[in-house]
Amino acid sequence: MTDGQWLFTLFALLYLAESVRLQSRSAWLFTGSGSLSRPFPHLNLGGRHLLMLPMLPPLPAYQILMPWVLVPLAGGLAYWEEDKSDRLIPWPDLKPVVEGSQLILSVDHRLRFPSEAAVQAWRERLQRWQSMSQAAREADFLKFIKQTSGSQSLDLAMRALSAQTRGLRWLGALIFFICFGAVTIVYRRFGDGPEVLWVAGALVSLLWLQAVLFWRATARLKSPLKYRFWKTLAIAFLPQNAMRAADHLCEAQTHAAHPLAAAALMLEPVKLKLARGFWKSIPHVSSDSAALQRKALEVALGALDLTPEQMEEVPEKQPGSAAYCPRCQAQFRDAQALCQDCGGLPLKAF
């Protein structure tokens, strides 16, 4: 490989690394373009999973959304994850401690959130639950579900974030095309001539302009941005950081919302498919928190103008089948059997 190809490969790898985040398995990425995506579930790095941000410009604004995974029960706090049973932490043993973006619930239980603000909010909520009666805990939990299931507040937050980061995102796109396009073409055409230096000079000028815009934009944040000076310095000298400068503002202004709140902003088939996915994964799980989770999901469905009846799917009947599992859609010949893959869930007859 030539020196130019090595340099191009290095910039591409650095940009790829800058486009990856480590998040909880439960996290959902919602972009301003109206798409939802999940982290890679099979690559577990100490409870963290790789989440790929949009890479091709113009980069959209985004938010990291979290479903409820902490459910208050009479015997303690249920820490629930998809396809796993509850891990119950008795209320006297619950000692929530914040460590960066992690919430330490006990010695063996840690949960990562999208931001430090979200962690602080959950710690205060858990401390409040510890002193409440079970009826008050459930009422507060359902109130939180109702607040985070509304699409209007999420839509307003996304619009404001998109407007706030528009300049950074478009300038980042220009830097992207110069770094991976103009520099490559000019170098291939003219070699080590002055033309390459002119393009490189233009690129450096844009990096400094991006740093100035970033410094001014972060000065208007309600809460001070952590490591603001060092992030600005990296933007001023490293193209991959300048291309993704808007990410820091997106991650500093997280909005507490359930992924179903984003579903309301999508087309009807997509909204229904996402809602059915949560319906299958939560209410039918054989666990202590199943009843309360079902009630919470019904509250969230109400915000979407959906009913539990719309969540039920009947698969196409296969020859010889008498019943099906309402969660995994597997079919059985014996209608009295139980679906062991779903925790002994009763079947439904065709």
The answer to whether 28 and 36 have CB atoms below 8 angstroms apart is yes
Query: At which of 104, 135, 166 does a domain end?
Result: 135
State yes or no: cis peptide before 41, omega within 30 of 0: no
Considering the domain architecture, whether residues 179 and 322 belong to the same structural domain is answered as no
Q: Quick check: helix, strand or coil at residue 8? A: helix
Instruction: Please write the tens of the pLDDT for every residue from 6-15.
Output: 777 888 899 9
What pLDDT score was predicted for residue 54? 92
Instruction: Please write the tens of the pLDDT for every residue from 73-126.
Output: 888 888 876 555 567 888 888 888 888 888 888 777 788 888 888 889 999 999
Residue 78 forms beta bridges with which residues? 71, 88
The answer to whether 235 and 210 have CB atoms below 8 angstroms apart is yes
What pLDDT score was predicted for residue 250? 93
Give the β-pairing of 28-31 and 36-37: antiparallel
Considering the domain architecture, whether residues 335 and 241 belong to the same structural domain is answered as no
Query: At which of 135, 162, 192 does a domain end?
Result: 135
What pLDDT score was predicted for residue 331? 83
Query: At which of 135, 155, 174 does a domain end?
Result: 135
Considering the domain architecture, whether residues 96 and 208 belong to the same structural domain is answered as no
Domain that residue 329 falls in: 316-350
Considering the domain architecture, whether residues 332 and 304 belong to the same structural domain is answered as no
Report the distance separating Cα 214 and Cα 218, nearest Å.
Answer: 6
Is the pLDDT reported for residue 161 higher than 70?
Answer: yes
Tokens of 95: 């000692």
Is the pLDDT reported for residue 173 higher than 80?
Answer: yes
Considering the domain architecture, whether residues 28 and 79 belong to the same structural domain is answered as no
Into how many domains does the chain fold? 3
Greatest C-alpha distance within the chain = 80
The helix (run of H) or strand (run of E) holding residue 151 is helix 151-177
What pLDDT score was predicted for residue 4? 66
Considering the domain architecture, whether residues 160 and 255 belong to the same structural domain is answered as yes
pTM here?
0.85
Considering the domain architecture, whether residues 92 and 126 belong to the same structural domain is answered as yes
Count Cβ atoms below 10 Å from residue 257 Cβ, excluding itself: 25
Residue 109 forms beta bridges with which residues? 106
Nearest to 175, CA basis, from 316, 11, 339: 11
Considering the domain architecture, whether residues 103 and 140 belong to the same structural domain is answered as no
Tokens of 118: 């979200």
What pLDDT score was predicted for residue 1? 63
Considering the domain architecture, whether residues 156 and 173 belong to the same structural domain is answered as yes
Considering the domain architecture, whether residues 141 and 279 belong to the same structural domain is answered as yes
User: What letter would DSSP give residue 315?
Assistant: P
- Reported confidence tier of residue 30, pLDDT bands at 50, 70, 90: very high
Considering the domain architecture, whether residues 116 and 58 belong to the same structural domain is answered as no
Q: Determine which of 37-46, 119-128, 182-191, 202-211 has the lowest per-residue pLDDT on average.
A: 182-191
Considering the domain architecture, whether residues 41 and 111 belong to the same structural domain is answered as no
Count Cβ atoms below 10 Å from residue 120 Cβ, excluding itself: 13
